[in-house]
Structure 1
Amino acid sequence: MTGRVAAVNLGVVTEAEWAGDASGRSGIDKRSVGSPVQFRVDGVVGDFIGERAHHGGEDQAVYAYAEEDAAWWATELGRGIGPGGFGENLTTYAVDLTGAVIGEQWQVGSAVLQVTKPRTPCATFAGFWGVPDLIKRFTVRALPGAYLRVLREGEVGPGDPVDVVDRPAHGVTIGEVFRATTLEPELLPRLLEAPDLPESIRDKVRRRLATRS
């Protein structure tokens, strides 16, 4: 089955004690829109981002989460989780985000996107859901979704196909990066085989490996 965009979601301003921004504002609450949205190198037009020290930027311009993985969490928590419930800009269907290779490129609408890194769960995420142990549970489940660069700006809308147009041969996946940097440090050396992994992560990997040698 061809992967597609199930929903495009934009963040609204949420003020709360759990918000990570110093001003107490967060953009984690994202709502689906019915029409195509412009995806730019620096992010999605109309998407509010609160804590820019940790969110947004070229390596995290777009966040994607799978509809199928959201359904698992809905069952696990006994609650409905609609599009944007994970703070994602793209809710995907029939796209293997955990198995996506770092650096692979997608044609989506008129944009070209590139897989960069997994999402790391944070206290803002746990506060938004009202689940105090969410970070631990999210880490153990290891289905983090994928951040994307925008290589070619364009419009993306609900129902657009997600076509993989290039996949690097190294095979390092979103799932491997997440597990290596959380619960399985023995996987860390493998991450250096992925040149498109953001340099900030590669630096952390080198430092952690240096302390083990």
Structure 2
Amino acid sequence: MVKNREIIYISKGKPVSKSYQGTEYQSGIWKEQTDELNVGFHSITDDQVANPAYHGGSERVICYYPFEHYTYWEQEFKQTLTPSAFGENIAGLNMRENEVCIGDIFQIGDAVLQVSQGRYPCATINKRNDNHLLLKRIFETGYTGYFFRVLEEGTIKKDSTIKLISPHPKRVSVSEIHQLYFHDKSPTLSDIEKVLDVKELADQWRQLMISLKEKHYNDLEE
């Protein structure tokens, strides 16, 4: 039986300047809770990124992070995390990386969203949480969160319901792709092709999988 998917909170924010270990940096990872998100095809109103080359864009409009992971990290690091500690727009339950697949379509509020890619986090997460081990552990566990593209614009409220309206038939989960790319020591061509066959996969991860495929062929030739 599928457990009810639900929103814990929603957040948005604009880039701010911060200091970490004596070095100034600017980032949009610092977000504040809000009552609603006005979601467009390319961005959320009043939600911005500092480095558009690596963040944001139509394939990464909404960042989702499973709220279940907060308990895991707090127990591991004996550290209390503040809301939106991972820069997410939505924190919710029962939509973990192994429970959603690339191409799955959800309606949240009156916005229609499609899972586009897993998150490839950067070291700003360490700075945000003052924890130099966090990023490494995120990659090791696969607790990355993921992104949605927007199929229909709309408004998401903190009490909006989440409905899966079209599961993708190929059923390639966010966690499966993460495991294949980062942890599988001997990925097979069929495993790689299975991911590449999902046309809804965002270009960032498509290029990573193409590189993995090329490495596979190079290894065979050696």
CA–CA distance in structure 2, aligned partners of residues 203 and 138 of structure 1: 21
The residue that corresponds to 1:64 in the other structure is: 64
What is the CA distance between 1:207 and its match in structure 2? 3.0
The residue that corresponds to 2:13 in the other structure is: 11
What is the CA distance between 1:17 and its match in structure 2? 4.8
The residue that corresponds to 2:220 in the other structure is: none
The residue that corresponds to 1:78 in the other structure is: 78
* TM-score normalised by length of structure 2: 0.87
Higher alpha-carbon Rg = 2
Runs of 4+ in 1 over 4 A off after TM superposition: none
In structure 1, what residue type is equivalent to 2:163? D
CA–CA distance in structure 1, aligned partners of residues 174 and 155 of structure 2: 25
- Is residue 135 of structure 2 the alignment partner of residue 122 of structure 1? no
- Give per-residue Cα distances to partners, 1:99-144, cap 9 Å, x unaligned: 2010000000010010011111211111221222222211111121
Supply the RMSD in Å over aligned alpha carbons.
1.8
Could you tell me which runs of 5 or more consecutive residues in structure 2 were left unpaired when the two chains were aligned: 218-222
In structure 2, what residue type is equivalent to 1:68? E
**Of residues 205, 209, 213 in structure 2, which corresponds to 1:201?**
205
SS of aligned partner of 1:58: coil
* TM-score normalised by length of structure 1: 0.90
CA–CA distance in structure 2, aligned partners of residues 168 and 106 of structure 1: 11
* Number of residue pairs aligned between Structure 1 and Structure 2: 208
The residue that corresponds to 2:151 in the other structure is: 151
In structure 1, what residue type is equivalent to 2:151? L
Task: Return closer, same or farther for 1:37/1:203 CA change in 2, 3 Å cut-off.
Answer: closer
Which is worse superposed, 24-33 or 194-203?
Answer: 194-203
Which is worse superposed, 42-51 or 90-99?
Answer: 90-99
CA–CA distance in structure 2, aligned partners of residues 184 and 116 of structure 1: 22
SS of aligned partner of 2:59: helix
Task: Return closer, same or farther for 1:197/1:142 CA change in 2, 3 Å cut-off.
Answer: same
**Of residues 188, 191, 199 in structure 1, which corresponds to 2:195?**
191
- Give per-residue Cα distances to partners, 1:73-117, cap 9 Å, x unaligned: 122121222331110000112323432010000000010010011
Q: 1:12, 1:31 within 8 Å by CA — same for their partners in 2?
A: no
